[in-house]
Protein backbone atom coordinates (compact mmCIF):
# COMPACT_ATOMS: atom_id res chain seq x y z
CA UNK A 1 0.00 0.00 0.00
CA UNK A 2 1.24 3.43 -0.91
CA UNK A 3 2.11 5.84 1.88
CA UNK A 4 -0.45 8.40 2.89
CA UNK A 5 0.88 11.86 2.11
CA UNK A 6 -2.14 13.74 3.41
CA UNK A 7 -4.63 12.40 5.87
CA UNK A 8 -7.70 14.01 7.44
CA UNK A 9 -9.20 12.25 10.46
CA UNK A 10 -12.70 13.24 11.56
CA UNK A 11 -12.20 16.86 10.53
CA UNK A 12 -15.09 19.23 11.21
CA UNK A 13 -15.41 22.90 10.50
CA UNK A 14 -18.30 24.95 11.76
CA UNK A 15 -18.96 28.68 11.39
CA UNK A 16 -21.33 29.31 14.27
CA UNK A 17 -24.08 26.78 13.73
CA UNK A 18 -23.23 26.16 10.09
CA UNK A 19 -21.29 22.96 9.59
CA UNK A 20 -19.32 23.30 6.36
CA UNK A 21 -17.30 20.15 6.84
CA UNK A 22 -18.58 17.43 9.11
CA UNK A 23 -16.50 14.56 10.45
CA UNK A 24 -14.56 14.15 7.22
CA UNK A 25 -12.09 11.30 6.74
CA UNK A 26 -9.93 11.58 3.68
CA UNK A 27 -6.49 10.63 2.49
CA UNK A 28 -4.30 11.27 -0.51
CA UNK A 29 -1.54 8.78 -1.27
CA UNK A 30 1.89 9.69 -2.54
CA UNK A 31 1.85 10.09 -6.34
CA UNK A 32 -1.92 10.01 -6.64
CA UNK A 33 -4.30 12.34 -8.44
CA UNK A 34 -7.47 12.65 -6.40
CA UNK A 35 -10.48 14.71 -7.48
CA UNK A 36 -12.97 16.23 -5.10
CA UNK A 37 -16.37 16.84 -6.64
CA UNK A 38 -19.70 17.98 -5.32
CA UNK A 39 -22.36 20.61 -5.90
CA UNK A 40 -21.80 24.26 -5.00
CA UNK A 41 -21.51 24.74 -1.25
CA UNK A 42 -20.51 21.14 -0.64
CA UNK A 43 -17.42 22.27 1.29
CA UNK A 44 -14.74 21.61 -1.31
CA UNK A 45 -12.98 24.95 -1.05
CA UNK A 46 -13.40 24.86 2.73
CA UNK A 47 -11.53 21.56 2.59
CA UNK A 48 -8.65 23.33 0.82
CA UNK A 49 -8.74 26.16 3.31
CA UNK A 50 -8.51 23.65 6.16
CA UNK A 51 -5.58 21.78 4.64
CA UNK A 52 -3.64 24.98 3.86
CA UNK A 53 -4.25 26.44 7.31
CA UNK A 54 -6.51 29.36 6.35
CA UNK A 55 -9.03 27.88 8.79
CA UNK A 56 -8.26 25.80 11.82
CA UNK A 57 -10.65 22.85 12.07
CA UNK A 58 -13.04 22.88 15.03
CA UNK A 59 -12.44 19.17 15.48
CA UNK A 60 -10.30 16.41 14.04
CA UNK A 61 -6.72 16.04 12.94
CA UNK A 62 -4.85 16.84 9.72
CA UNK A 63 -1.65 14.93 9.04
CA UNK A 64 0.90 15.67 6.34
CA UNK A 65 3.72 13.18 5.90
CA UNK A 66 2.50 11.61 9.11
CA UNK A 67 2.85 14.81 11.17
CA UNK A 68 0.08 17.02 12.40
CA UNK A 69 -0.16 20.37 10.61
CA UNK A 70 -3.27 21.49 12.46
CA UNK A 71 -2.92 24.99 13.86
CA UNK A 72 0.20 25.85 11.88
CA UNK A 73 0.10 29.20 10.09
CA UNK A 74 -0.47 28.94 6.33
CA UNK A 75 3.06 29.94 5.33
CA UNK A 76 4.53 27.21 7.53
CA UNK A 77 2.24 24.63 5.95
CA UNK A 78 3.33 25.82 2.51
CA UNK A 79 6.95 25.54 3.57
CA UNK A 80 6.26 21.95 4.63
CA UNK A 81 5.21 21.18 1.07
CA UNK A 82 1.57 21.97 0.36
CA UNK A 83 0.79 24.57 -2.30
CA UNK A 84 -2.49 25.61 -3.82
CA UNK A 85 -4.15 27.63 -6.53
CA UNK A 86 -7.30 29.67 -6.10
CA UNK A 87 -10.71 29.28 -7.65
CA UNK A 88 -11.02 33.06 -7.87
CA UNK A 89 -7.59 33.89 -9.25
CA UNK A 90 -5.35 35.63 -6.75
CA UNK A 91 -2.25 36.61 -8.67
CA UNK A 92 0.06 39.46 -7.72
CA UNK A 93 -1.40 41.44 -10.60
CA UNK A 94 0.95 44.41 -10.62
CA UNK A 95 4.10 42.33 -10.50
CA UNK A 96 5.71 40.81 -13.56
CA UNK A 97 4.98 37.22 -14.55
CA UNK A 98 8.48 36.19 -13.54
CA UNK A 99 8.29 38.00 -10.22
CA UNK A 100 5.02 36.26 -9.39
CA UNK A 101 6.82 32.95 -9.56
CA UNK A 102 10.03 34.22 -7.93
CA UNK A 103 8.08 35.58 -4.96
CA UNK A 104 6.77 32.11 -4.22
CA UNK A 105 10.31 30.84 -3.68
CA UNK A 106 10.45 32.84 -0.44
CA UNK A 107 9.80 29.84 1.81
CA UNK A 108 12.82 27.83 0.75
CA UNK A 109 15.34 30.66 0.42
CA UNK A 110 17.23 32.41 3.17
CA UNK A 111 18.89 35.75 2.36
CA UNK A 112 17.90 38.29 4.99
CA UNK A 113 17.87 42.07 5.02
CA UNK A 114 21.56 42.53 5.74
CA UNK A 115 22.73 40.05 3.11
CA UNK A 116 20.40 41.65 0.58
CA UNK A 117 21.84 45.10 1.22
CA UNK A 118 25.42 43.86 1.15
CA UNK A 119 24.76 41.65 -1.90
CA UNK A 120 26.92 38.85 -0.52
CA UNK A 121 28.03 36.14 -2.96
CA UNK A 122 25.66 33.68 -1.28
CA UNK A 123 22.75 36.04 -1.74
CA UNK A 124 23.61 36.61 -5.40
CA UNK A 125 23.83 32.87 -5.99
CA UNK A 126 20.49 32.33 -4.30
CA UNK A 127 18.93 35.11 -6.37
CA UNK A 128 20.25 33.47 -9.54
CA UNK A 129 18.82 30.13 -8.43
CA UNK A 130 15.41 31.68 -7.75
CA UNK A 131 15.47 33.19 -11.20
CA UNK A 132 16.38 29.92 -12.84
CA UNK A 133 13.73 28.10 -10.83
CA UNK A 134 11.10 30.61 -11.94
CA UNK A 135 12.08 30.26 -15.57
CA UNK A 136 12.02 26.48 -15.32
CA UNK A 137 8.55 26.53 -13.76
CA UNK A 138 7.25 28.88 -16.44
CA UNK A 139 8.85 26.81 -19.19
CA UNK A 140 6.70 23.89 -18.01
CA UNK A 141 3.79 25.49 -19.82
CA UNK A 142 5.47 25.37 -23.22
CA UNK A 143 5.16 28.51 -25.28
CA UNK A 144 2.07 29.61 -23.37
CA UNK A 145 4.08 31.52 -20.79
CA UNK A 146 7.34 31.93 -22.61
CA UNK A 147 9.89 34.58 -23.37
CA UNK A 148 8.54 38.05 -23.77
CA UNK A 149 5.67 37.43 -21.39
CA UNK A 150 8.00 37.01 -18.43
CA UNK A 151 8.58 40.70 -17.94
CA UNK A 152 5.00 41.76 -18.49
CA UNK A 153 2.75 42.50 -15.55
CA UNK A 154 0.51 39.60 -14.59
CA UNK A 155 -2.62 41.64 -15.26
CA UNK A 156 -1.80 41.71 -18.96
CA UNK A 157 -2.26 37.94 -19.23
CA UNK A 158 -5.36 36.31 -20.63
CA UNK A 159 -7.66 34.45 -18.30
CA UNK A 160 -6.33 31.02 -19.24
CA UNK A 161 -2.75 32.19 -18.86
CA UNK A 162 -3.54 33.56 -15.44
CA UNK A 163 -4.70 30.10 -14.44
CA UNK A 164 -1.45 28.65 -15.79
CA UNK A 165 0.58 31.26 -13.95
CA UNK A 166 -1.19 30.35 -10.71
CA UNK A 167 -0.09 26.76 -11.15
CA UNK A 168 3.48 27.84 -12.01
CA UNK A 169 3.55 30.04 -8.91
CA UNK A 170 2.31 27.22 -6.69
CA UNK A 171 4.96 24.83 -8.00
CA UNK A 172 7.69 27.39 -7.24
CA UNK A 173 7.16 26.76 -3.53
CA UNK A 174 8.61 23.28 -4.21
CA UNK A 175 5.59 21.42 -2.89
CA UNK A 176 4.99 17.70 -2.59
CA UNK A 177 1.23 18.10 -2.60
CA UNK A 178 -0.47 20.41 -5.07
CA UNK A 179 -4.04 21.55 -4.44
CA UNK A 180 -5.74 22.81 -7.59
CA UNK A 181 -9.03 24.65 -7.10
CA UNK A 182 -11.06 24.36 -10.32
CA UNK A 183 -8.13 24.64 -12.75
CA UNK A 184 -10.40 24.36 -15.80
CA UNK A 185 -13.03 26.88 -14.73
CA UNK A 186 -13.80 29.38 -17.47
CA UNK A 187 -11.62 27.72 -20.06
CA UNK A 188 -12.67 26.84 -23.60
CA UNK A 189 -12.74 23.17 -24.75
CA UNK A 190 -9.26 23.30 -26.24
CA UNK A 191 -7.77 24.84 -23.12
CA UNK A 192 -9.66 22.37 -20.94
CA UNK A 193 -8.09 19.55 -22.93
CA UNK A 194 -4.69 21.14 -22.41
CA UNK A 195 -5.22 21.47 -18.65
CA UNK A 196 -6.24 17.81 -18.43
CA UNK A 197 -2.99 16.76 -20.07
CA UNK A 198 -1.06 19.22 -17.99
CA UNK A 199 -2.32 17.86 -14.68
CA UNK A 200 -1.18 14.34 -15.59
CA UNK A 201 2.14 15.82 -16.69
CA UNK A 202 2.54 17.64 -13.39
CA UNK A 203 2.32 14.30 -11.61
CA UNK A 204 4.45 12.30 -14.06
CA UNK A 205 7.20 14.85 -14.78
CA UNK A 206 6.94 17.21 -11.82
CA UNK A 207 6.46 14.44 -9.30
CA UNK A 208 3.70 16.21 -7.43
CA UNK A 209 0.83 14.49 -5.68
CA UNK A 210 -2.35 16.28 -6.68
CA UNK A 211 -5.70 16.95 -5.05
CA UNK A 212 -7.99 18.77 -7.43
CA UNK A 213 -11.43 20.32 -7.19
CA UNK A 214 -13.17 20.23 -10.53
CA UNK A 215 -16.67 20.64 -11.91
CA UNK A 216 -15.89 19.60 -15.46
CA UNK A 217 -16.58 15.86 -15.48
CA UNK A 218 -14.50 15.30 -18.61
CA UNK A 219 -11.48 16.62 -16.76
CA UNK A 220 -12.30 14.58 -13.68
CA UNK A 221 -12.69 11.45 -15.78
CA UNK A 222 -9.48 12.13 -17.64
CA UNK A 223 -7.16 12.64 -14.68
CA UNK A 224 -8.46 10.95 -11.55
CA UNK A 225 -7.01 7.89 -9.91
CA UNK A 226 -9.71 8.29 -7.32
CA UNK A 227 -12.74 10.54 -6.92
CA UNK A 228 -14.26 11.80 -3.68
CA UNK A 229 -17.76 13.26 -3.73
CA UNK A 230 -18.81 15.73 -1.05
CA UNK A 231 -22.21 17.12 -0.20
CA UNK A 232 -23.03 19.40 2.71
CA UNK A 233 -19.58 18.81 4.12
CA UNK A 234 -19.97 15.04 4.24
CA UNK A 235 -18.20 12.48 2.08
CA UNK A 236 -20.97 10.71 0.20
CA UNK A 237 -18.95 8.55 -2.17
CA UNK A 238 -15.40 7.53 -2.93
CA UNK A 239 -13.84 5.33 -5.60
CA UNK A 240 -13.03 5.31 -9.28
CA UNK A 241 -14.73 7.83 -11.54
CA UNK A 242 -17.25 5.25 -12.79
CA UNK A 243 -18.16 4.12 -9.29
CA UNK A 244 -18.72 7.63 -8.03
CA UNK A 245 -20.50 8.94 -11.12
CA UNK A 246 -23.10 6.19 -10.95
CA UNK A 247 -23.50 6.29 -7.18
CA UNK A 248 -27.16 7.10 -6.41
CA UNK A 249 -26.26 9.49 -3.61
CA UNK A 250 -24.02 11.49 -5.92
CA UNK A 251 -26.67 11.70 -8.59
CA UNK A 252 -29.14 12.76 -5.92
CA UNK A 253 -26.80 15.45 -4.61
CA UNK A 254 -26.43 16.92 -8.09
CA UNK A 255 -29.96 16.45 -9.42
CA UNK A 256 -32.20 16.23 -6.33
CA UNK A 257 -34.28 13.46 -4.78
CA UNK A 258 -36.29 11.29 -7.13
CA UNK A 259 -33.90 11.87 -9.99
CA UNK A 260 -32.99 8.21 -10.11
CA UNK A 261 -36.61 7.08 -10.15
CA UNK A 262 -37.54 9.44 -12.97
CA UNK A 263 -34.56 8.27 -14.90
What residues make contact with another protein under the rule CB under 8 A?
52, 54, 73-75, 78-79, 83-84, 86, 90-95, 99-100, 102-109, 111-113, 116-117, 119, 123, 126-127, 130, 142-143, 149, 152-153, 155-158, 160-161, 169-170, 172-173, 188, 190-191, 194, 197-198, 201
- Minimum Å gap between C-beta 243 and another protein is 29
3-state secondary structure (DSSP) of residue 135? helix
Closer to another protein by Cβ: residue 27 or 164:
164
From 225, 157, 159, select the one nearest 195 (Cα to Cα).
Answer: 159
Closer to another protein by Cβ: residue 67 or 143:
143
Strand pairing class (209-213; 33-37): parallel
- Minimum Å gap between C-beta 52 and another protein is 6
Per DSSP, 257 falls in state T
Is residue 228 within 8 A of residue 235, CB to CB? The reply is: yes
- Minimum Å gap between C-beta 83 and another protein is 7
Cα 2 to Cα 28, 29, 30, 193, 201: the distances in Å are 10, 6, 6, 29, 20
Closer to another protein by Cβ: residue 160 or 253:
160
Closer to another protein by Cβ: residue 17 or 112:
112
- Minimum Å gap between C-beta 131 and another protein is 11
- Minimum Å gap between C-beta 19 and another protein is 23
Q: Three-state SS across 65-105?
A: CCEECCCCCHHHHHHHCEEECCCCCCCCCCCEHHHHHHHHH
From 30, 24, 32, select the one nearest 5 (Cα to Cα).
Answer: 30
Closer to another protein by Cβ: residue 90 or 240:
90
Amino acid sequence: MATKLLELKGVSMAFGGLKCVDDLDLHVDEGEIVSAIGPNGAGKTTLFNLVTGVYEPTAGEILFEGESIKGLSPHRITQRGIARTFQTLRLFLNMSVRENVMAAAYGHTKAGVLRSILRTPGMRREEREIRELAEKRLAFFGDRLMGYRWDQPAYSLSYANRRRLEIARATATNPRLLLLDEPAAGMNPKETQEITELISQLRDEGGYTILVIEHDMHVVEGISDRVIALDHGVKIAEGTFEEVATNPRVVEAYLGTGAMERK
